[in-house]
Chains A and B, each alone.
Chain A
């Protein structure tokens, strides 16, 4: 699953157009659209922008910061008509991906932390939320978040400490974890090796390797 990066006001439009262009045909790439959070004018509704993105066939949305002089810290709840947006996404079971790099431990450009993500999950329990590549040093906080929010999932790219993935799967089940390569910034052989050599069953490894993402993208994340 890929997205592209762009700069400037409303960069998400350019990002999504590029992503959809790249991730087509036999590339094997699945497009991940960037979620708009700001209208072109102050206070403008975001829901129509979300509807426009969904109309392009978006299968997953990613929170990404717009970079520009008027772009303050990205928030989860305080943009225009955010309750309606989250309800819309929850109703369509669209997975929402939140980069672990947004957590305040690594960046001050984002105004939310794990507690806010758990709160979002709790308010919208049918909304699948995926935290991308959280730092391994947040292990205990991540465990609390997973326990509190059954619809929260982790991409395991940086869960590369000895026995960490196994302990998480033992505690929360393999359905909560997705494979992430971290390309192009990370050597994909590391997370590949973490999963392939994990002391886990073949079924659990298949879920982590592809099954869970397939399930989330199919929008049938309920038993």
Chain B
């Protein structure tokens, strides 16, 4: 008997996935609405655009980091981004949560934001962009923030610095052994990944990547294990339809896809799991878009 794969069906028809929970651990936005109003823009950044895309693929929940926090050049930028993040999450009615950006240039301000975390209402994870901010994972500049994240059980979505090696990442996984790291963009696609993930149960990776070879997700699952790969779209940087379709169309059993799309995100982001549990529902299935 052939089992129908609802993820594959959705990807083949361009419809929202039905009867399944899809959690996206890697997104970005800024502002609730596009500044120029509705209509195609060269790069839509708003939460509204993100939510519309989530509706088209059937994603129940997405965790984003604010573009302006990533691009902050002053403490004022960071504060404004934090205020907008709170506004967006509260407006999104349970569909969005946030990663708190660990900006290495504003460590004191970030530390204050971390100390002020009281609940899972807004922030369920943290984001460290090693490449954008030119900071290595083992840097002293970031160490106090990672230590605080570990105390807070605030998992870190880590875009690895190009110079960081598997040994470097294993080093921070050892130093912060209770802190879960989600390594963005199917990292590491290199020899030794299997051993590193076996040695460090606090390492995960997400599926977002602008261009992938056919079978890249399947190969990562085979390498690091089905319980260590999470769905991430990197929208609104990358096309959510393209990234969802890549993960949904993989030649993997439906049970593994359920891990990637729902179970693993909750395992890697315990604060998200608690938040969704408190919401006492998987988010309602989205309304189909014509």
> For the complex, what is the distance from the CA of A184 to the CA of B14, rounded to whole Å?
23
Partner of B11 from the list A161, A185, A196, A198 (CB cut-off 8 Å) is A196
**Is B241 a contact partner of A189 (Cβ separation < 8 A)?**
no
**Is A161 a contact partner of B239 (Cβ separation < 8 A)?**
yes
Which residues in chain A, 133-148, are within 8 Å of chain B measured between CB atoms? 136, 139
**Is A193 a contact partner of B44 (Cβ separation < 8 A)?**
no
**Is B237 a contact partner of A193 (Cβ separation < 8 A)?**
no
**Beta-carbon nearest neighbor of B249 in chain A:** A189
**Is B40 a contact partner of A163 (Cβ separation < 8 A)?**
yes
**Is A196 a contact partner of B241 (Cβ separation < 8 A)?**
yes
B49 / chain A contacts, CB cutoff of 8 Å: 162-163
**Is B53 a contact partner of A162 (Cβ separation < 8 A)?**
yes
Partner of A197 from the list B216, B237, B245 (CB cut-off 8 Å) is B245
Does B281 have its Cβ within 8 Å of any Cβ on chain A?
no
**Is B42 a contact partner of A139 (Cβ separation < 8 A)?**
yes
Q: How far is the CB of B161 from chain A (nearest CB, A)?
A: 21
Does A158 have its Cβ within 8 Å of any Cβ on chain B?
yes
Among B42, B213, B246, B249, chain A packs the most CB atoms within 10 A around the CB of B42
> For the complex, what is the distance from the CA of A163 to the CA of B235, rounded to whole Å?
10
Tier of interface size on chain B: 35 or more
> For the complex, what is the distance from the CA of A166 to the CA of B215, rounded to whole Å?
27
**Is A162 a contact partner of B236 (Cβ separation < 8 A)?**
yes
Q: How far is the CB of A184 from chain B (nearest CB, A)?
A: 7
Which residues in chain A, 163-200, are within 8 Å of chain B measured between CB atoms? 163-167, 169-171, 182-199
- Taken residue by residue from 195 to 212, chain A's Cβ proximity to chain B (1 for < 8 Å, 0 otherwise) reads as 111110000010000000
Does A11 have its Cβ within 8 Å of any Cβ on chain B?
no
- Taken residue by residue from 100 to 124, chain B's Cβ proximity to chain A (1 for < 8 Å, 0 otherwise) reads as 0000000000000000000000000
> For the complex, what is the distance from the CA of A70 to the CA of B246, rounded to whole Å?
41
A196 / chain B contacts, CB cutoff of 8 Å: 11-14, 241, 245
Partner of A186 from the list B13, B40, B211 (CB cut-off 8 Å) is B211
Q: Can you add 7 more A-B contacts, CB < 8 Å, to A162-B237, A193-B245?
A: A139-B42, A158-B210, A161-B238, A162-B43, A164-B43, A164-B239, A184-B214
On B, residues with C-beta under 8 Å from A are 11-14, 39-44, 49, 52-53, 56-57, 210-216, 235-246, 248-250
6 of the cross-chain contacts (CB-CB < 8 Å) are A171-B40, A190-B211, A190-B243, A191-B242, A197-B241, A199-B56
